[in-house]
Structure 1
Amino acid sequence: MTAPHSTGGLPGYAEHFEEPEGYLDFARYGPPSRDVLAATVRALERSAHADQDTVNDLMRAEPRAREAAARLAGTDAAHTVLLPNTSTGLFHAAFGLPGGTVLVPAGEFPSNHYPWRRGAALGRAVPRTLVPDERGRITADTVQAALTDDVVAVSVSAVDFRTGYRADLAALREAIGPDRLLIVDAIQGFGVADLPWQAADVVVSGGQKWLRASWATGFAALSDRALERLEPVLGGWTGVTDSGVFDDVEHPVAPGAQRWSTTNLSPVTAAALATALELVESVGVPAIEAHIAVRTAQLIDTVRSCGGELLSPAAPAERAGIISFRIPGTDPRRIAKALHTYEVVPSVRADSVRLSAHASTRLAAVERVQAALMSLR
């Protein structure tokens, strides 16, 4: 097994969390920090004792969260809007494209398929399946080979939810050129993978997984090209200029990403998201990514030493924090039962088991996995 840098999580970050020692399911849900829990409680308590200043005070969490998300995405608040989840952002993008063809990879998480199907049914852009390479990955070459004159956008995941393969966003941008939109579902990588988000025209992420902000949190960051080409079909009364003036007149759309706003979101969840994002900033994505890489390498060594077959990329540069594997001749449900016996929390699929460690994951979690897999022999 790879020698650990530390028996604990990342100093300065791990101390904010208290998830169970064997929790390895961050790709599904990231238990929030004590800071996020406290921010949520404070906001709710404030709302329970409301006075004339309460709503205005609580709403200040929205620009705070938007600014933090913008900094981490490498843009500014004018190009960033808060959303309740990833799917909402993808629906905005799908309904915003008036026509043309969008390349969407086969095997994507369904949230990157249904918006395009629904949009096509209403006469908007039409999705076309993008076939991965022989290793099941979307690369610049696979995209380049699929490009035709009618393609106006490519919609991909930054990190594949099944294998942890990380897309080369810079190479994808170069492949599609400056005249097509690159739309990225960032939920499996934002805050833990140091990727060139500025290469994308739309970056959408929910906050309930790796950002550890809990549910009903998220954002989208839009490029100038996206703002120019995507119609704000789902924009509501908060997505226009002078939204506080109620005069029965249709107002012009907001000049920036705020045009994607449908209505006011919860200031409670905005406070949670702001707190989570600022914690990531305080440590830095490269430090978080480096710690996750160590734990991931240790888990891979453990899986292999116990007869497991890795489905995730072997090269560290090609993967993020997700490890998928199977043990030939062993039902994934049996593997999961063994892991549960040793209080390890994985995700279980029909053909594989998925483990995902974070920067607060301790070496003891790896030891629990090893004990569980050894017990299957």
Structure 2
Amino acid sequence: MSALPGPGGLSGYAEHFLEPAGYLDFGRFGPPSADVVETTAALTGRAAHAAGQTVDELMEEEPRARRAAARLIGTGSVENVTLLPNASTGLFHAAFGLPGGSVLVPAWEFPSNLYPWLRTAALGRVRPVPVRPDRLHRITPDLVRAALTPDTVAVSLSAVDFRTGFRADLAGIKEVIGPDRLLIVDAMQALGATELPWTAADVLVTGGQKWLRAGWSTGFLYASDLALERLEPTLTGWTGVDEPGLFDGEEHPPVEGARRFSLTNHNPIAAAALARALELVERAGTERIVRQIRQRTAELIDTVRSAGGLVHSPTAEHERAGIVSFSVPNTDPGTVAKALSEHGVTATARPDQIRLCAHASTTLAAVDLVHRALRSLGD
């Protein structure tokens, strides 16, 4: 592979990726790096020719990925991290682990942070309480404070809103709810795109297929000591207990750390993909990746505005991540989406708006393509 960037830039980082210039749909899927593609192909080949130690050797990819995840979020203990195939599995663990009380959940959240609470509520365990965002579609510490009741046991929200790209104040929300309530965070639209105090969360879940660019069926969960104390092992499987290899027909106690949230053996090839993706982020430098995303995001905002578009995402740098949502007055979003596609731009089109998401590998050519596409609407 090409060398990673030196202190001056990210050109070497961008060379690890193969997406076309107009790809601006990282909020939906982040095309994995060539490193990830090569790793998964090589390990799949090894699995196809399995020898005596092949399976044991492949299983070593899981602790490697857990260590990389722990470093990324800044936790000192890998025992507080476990791998999961997606963020939803982690949210179900959190929802079914709480035995009672109410949980504040933003209204109009992404459905992955809705259905776990609906399902556990149907069993009479935890009751979700919607928190409506402010007029700018933000969930702020003040809104959370106003919604707290003595019955509140947790707050569950996205670190970055999937519609607008608003970046939640995790530290401020945790301070408001206090040390005895859990802060449960879906970091799907955040990790790899922005920097936040990740361990302000008591439960942090993510999938690796978007901004981390690890491909599908990759992800992890971080659980604080408080979360490990509070959450019951309701969904713990046979790999989440002591001595999982002892098949004695008895129930074994859950392991001490976050691995208790394991249901069964993780896909070692997916673990390897996640490990390589996280290590690439680590070597390139999260701060530089985030800085490049901010720059491209600002350029996209300026381009949309210059073409008469109405930006729905936060424009203040401290409030936004990598998502730019917009509409064009008096123009159907389907028409805008068609123009973008005709100019080689891949974006997310919804009934009321368009979403553009740039990554650190996105070049100025993408911004120029968006400019041409939006200008063509007036032709």
The TM-score, its normalising length taken from structure 1, stands at 0.97
> Contact (CA 8 Å) 2:30, 2:212: kept in 1 or not?
yes
Please report how far the alpha carbon of residue 191 of structure 1 lies from its aligned counterpart in structure 2 after TM superposition.
Answer: 1.9
The answer for the alignment partner of 1:66 in structure 2 is: 66
Match of 2:247, SS state, is: coil
The answer for the alignment partner of 1:4 in structure 2 is: none
Opposite residue 33 of structure 2, the aligned amino acid is S
Opposite residue 51 of structure 1, the aligned amino acid is A
Name the CA distance, whole Å, in 2 between partners of 1:359 and 1:148.
42
Within a 5 Å distance, the mapping from 1:1-377 to structure 2 comes to: 10-75=10-75, 76-377=77-378
Q: What are the Cα deviations for residues 242-293 of structure 1, in whole angstroms up to 9, with x where unaligned?
A: 1111111111110000000000011111110110010011111111100000
Structure 1 stretches lacking a partner, 5+ long: 1-8
Name the CA distance, whole Å, in 2 between partners of 1:70 and 1:236.
22
> Contact (CA 8 Å) 1:192, 1:286: kept in 2 or not?
no
Match of 2:280, SS state, is: helix
Q: Which deviates more from structure 2 when the two are superposed, residues 128-137 or residues 289-298? A: 128-137
Opposite residue 271 of structure 2, the aligned amino acid is A
Match of 1:93, SS state, is: helix
Name the CA distance, whole Å, in 2 between partners of 1:144 and 1:282.
39
Q: State percent identity of aligned pairs.
A: 64
Name the CA distance, whole Å, in 2 between partners of 1:316 and 1:258.
36
> Contact (CA 8 Å) 2:27, 2:162: kept in 1 or not?
yes
Q: What are the Cα deviations for residues 114-142 of structure 1, in whole angstroms up to 9, with x where unaligned?
A: 00000111121110101111221100000
> Contact (CA 8 Å) 2:10, 2:284: kept in 1 or not?
no
Opposite residue 323 of structure 2, the aligned amino acid is I
Match of 2:11, SS state, is: coil
Q: What are the Cα deviations for residues 13-59 of structure 1, in whole angstroms up to 9, with x where unaligned?
A: 10100101100000000000000000100110000000110100101
Opposite residue 91 of structure 2, the aligned amino acid is L
The TM-score, its normalising length taken from structure 2, stands at 0.96
Match of 1:12, SS state, is: helix
Please report how far the alpha carbon of residue 192 of structure 1 lies from its aligned counterpart in structure 2 after TM superposition.
Answer: 2.1
Q: What are the Cα deviations for residues 179-223 of structure 1, in whole angstroms up to 9, with x where unaligned?
A: 100000001011221100011100000000000001000000000
> Contact (CA 8 Å) 2:81, 2:222: kept in 1 or not?
yes
Match of 2:129, SS state, is: strand
Opposite residue 144 of structure 1, the aligned amino acid is R
Name the CA distance, whole Å, in 1 between partners of 2:191 and 2:241.
28
> Contact (CA 8 Å) 1:36, 1:213: kept in 2 or not?
yes
Match of 2:145, SS state, is: helix
Name the CA distance, whole Å, in 2 between partners of 1:344 and 1:330.
18
Q: Which deviates more from structure 2 when the two are superposed, residues 253-262 or residues 190-199? A: 190-199
Match of 2:12, SS state, is: coil
Please report how far the alpha carbon of residue 106 of structure 1 lies from its aligned counterpart in structure 2 after TM superposition.
Answer: 0.5
> Contact (CA 8 Å) 1:72, 1:191: kept in 2 or not?
no
Please report how far the alpha carbon of residue 309 of structure 1 lies from its aligned counterpart in structure 2 after TM superposition.
Answer: 0.3
Q: What are the Cα deviations for residues 315-351 of structure 1, in whole angstroms up to 9, with x where unaligned?
A: 0110000000001100000000000011000000110
Q: Which deviates more from structure 2 when the two are superposed, residues 244-253 or residues 87-96? A: 244-253
Please report how far the alpha carbon of residue 12 of structure 1 lies from its aligned counterpart in structure 2 after TM superposition.
Answer: 2.6
Opposite residue 88 of structure 2, the aligned amino acid is S
Name the CA distance, whole Å, in 2 between partners of 1:290 and 1:253.
41
Opposite residue 347 of structure 2, the aligned amino acid is P
> Contact (CA 8 Å) 2:32, 2:213: kept in 1 or not?
yes
Name the CA distance, whole Å, in 1 between partners of 2:169 and 2:346.
29
Name the CA distance, whole Å, in 1 between partners of 2:124 and 2:74.
33
Name the CA distance, whole Å, in 1 between partners of 2:245 and 2:230.
26
